[in-house]
């Protein structure tokens, strides 16, 4: 059902993050995909929304684990003096599990702890299904491991961990009806600093939290909060 989900970060989140007044396209010339209308003036890469979707009826969230398979990885353009073995940057099973853990933590914190939307594991009335997928990453440096950064090499400094793009689809958990799709990318805009596994995970946590915050604000607006 959600096999071809576009990278997104929220349904009505564009109400909380946009460059102008968000406006759902209507009329004969509206750009429509499977009943979802394109939303203009969104800061996200792209956004589509079902015009009659009523998110105020959802008070619980069925959060599907972050999809981490077939992630497009843009290899960092760095000097061979940093990565002398020219190792390919790739996600290990351990990396994938960590990303899923960080994503869940961010969503749980924003939606359940701060938003009051209960997380559930079962579909049902008033339950919004949220399915996210990590589409791409663009690391800013070779991976912080023994293969890519041999012992004895100096510290690596970059402007943050790099960039990520994620996809989220929002659907009615009872019938699987997709209510919204969006596409968005984020990058770290930090000052120059040491690049290692700890700093990179901190940046990933920050990016996930930003998407989760946008989702919560969108749902809050739908509920009149």
Q: pLDDT tens digits for 12-53?
A: 443 344 445 667 777 778 778 888 888 877 767 778 888 888
Which of these, 173, 176, 184, lies nearest to 215 by C-alpha position?
Answer: 184
Q: What percent of the chain has pLDDT over 90?
A: 38
User: Taking 50 as the threshold, does the pLDDT of residue 2 lie above it?
Assistant: no
Burial 72-81 (b: 16+ CB within 10 A, else e): eeeebebeee
Q: Is the pTM of this model over 0.85?
A: no
Q: What is the pLDDT of residue 6?
A: 32
β-strands 23-24, 36-40 pairing:
antiparallel
Rounded Cα distance, 176 and 130, in Å: 11
- How far apart CA 77 and CA 190 sit, in angstroms, is 18
Ranking 77-86, 124-133, 199-208 by mean pLDDT, the lowest is: 77-86
Q: How far apart are CA 79 and CA 2, in angstroms?
A: 39
Helices of type H across 54-119: 93-107
pLDDT value of residue 97? 97
* Higher-confidence position of 5 and 194: 194
The 10 Å Cβ neighbour count of residue 211 is: 26
Mean pLDDT across the chain, nearest whole number?
Answer: 80
- Return the top range by mean pLDDT from 79-83, 143-147, 203-207: 203-207
CA atoms within 13 Å, Cβ hemisphere of 93: 0
pLDDT bin (cut points 50, 70, 90) of residue 186 is confident
* Nearby residues of 145 by Cβ (< 8 Å), 6 or more positions away: none
Q: Is residue 192 over pLDDT 60? A: yes
Per domain, the residue ranges of the chain are: 56-175+183-222
From the CB of residue 142, how many other CB atoms can be counted at a distance below 10 Å?
Answer: 25
Please tell me the predicted confidence (pLDDT) of residue 176: 92
Digit-coded pLDDT (tens) for 56-115 = 999 999 999 999 999 999 988 755 445 555 678 889 999 999 999 999 999 999 999 999
Q: How confident is the model at residue 154 (pLDDT cuts 50, 70, 90)?
A: low
Q: Show contacts of 121-124: CB within 8 Å, 24+ apart.
A: 121/62, 122/62, 123/62, 123/173, 123/174, 124/60, 124/173, 124/174
The hierarchical CATH code for the domain 56-175+183-222 is: 3.30.160
Whether the CA torsion 103, 126, 5, 29 is positive or negative: it is: negative
């Amino acid at each position: 059902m959600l096999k071809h989900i576009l990278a997104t970060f929220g349904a009505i989140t564009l109400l909380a993050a946009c460059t102008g007044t968000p406006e759902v396209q209507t009329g004969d010339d509206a750009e429509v995909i499977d009943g979802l209308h394109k939303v203009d003036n969104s800061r996200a890469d792209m956004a589509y929304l079902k015009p009659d979707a009523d998110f105020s009826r959802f008070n619980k969230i069925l959060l599907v684990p972050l999809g981490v398979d077939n992630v497009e990885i843009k290899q960092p353009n760095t000097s061979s003096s940093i990565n002398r073995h020219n190792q390919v940057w790739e996600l290990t099973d351990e990396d994938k599990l960590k990303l899923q853990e960080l994503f869940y933590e961010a969503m749980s914190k924003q939606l359940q702890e701060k938003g009051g939307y209960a997380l559930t594991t079962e579909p049902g009335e008033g339950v919004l299904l949220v399915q996210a997928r990590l589409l791409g990453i663009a690391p800013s440096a070779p991976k912080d491991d023994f293969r890519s950064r041999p012992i004895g090499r100096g510290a690596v400094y970059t402007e943050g961990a790099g960039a990520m793009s994620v996809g989220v689809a929002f659907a009615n958990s009872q019938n699987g009806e997709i209510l919204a799709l969006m596409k968005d990318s984020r990058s770290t805009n930090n000052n120059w600093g040491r690049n290692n596994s700890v700093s990179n995970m901190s940046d990933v946590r920050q990016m996930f939290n930003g998407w989760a915050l946008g989702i919560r604000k969108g749902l809050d607006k739908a509920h009149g909060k």
